[in-house]
Amino acid sequence: MEEAFIKTPLGIAKITGNENGIASIIVLNSDVPLTTIIPEVLEDAVYQLHEYFKEERKVFNLTLNPEGTSFQKKVWKALKDIPYGKTISYMDLSKTLGDPKAIRAVAAANGKNPLWIVVPCHRVIGSDGSLTGYAGGLHRKKWLLELESPSKQQSLF
């Protein structure tokens, strides 16, 4: 498994994968040395993430190969269908998957998403519109939603 550490506006991201696809993209809460030579199998992921942060990419085109249960993979696949700039509640996601009673299991699978940003778990919010749990931290979730917002918050200064 190849890996790369890249700088993003939200911290250092660790990307892992091989010829079968990208296995994980996680944001770290600590500093580690950045990768100077990106492994070839990770180049597209690095390039597309940089485009995303420059607001030049709204949809990722990567071969993904995350590890997880069949249920987790089903949830992660549904997350990919949430459009850029839109949000969905955990309840609505559960309904989309065919079982509104599975909301806790859906939320747990959402929290185990190993593909930060590419599988947009940050687009899932509470039914009341609140920013609920996010493995990368609520400050990052808020930042990502603001980046994707069709109406940017105006600064007074």
Catalytically active residues, by annotation: 121
Sign of the dihedral through C-alpha 81, 85, 86, 89: positive
Work out the end-to-end distance of the chain between its first and last CA atoms, rounded to an integer number of angstroms: 46
Per-residue tokens: 69: 């249960």
**Can you tell me the distance from the alpha carbon of 135 to that of 122, in angstroms, rounded to the nearest whole number?**
9
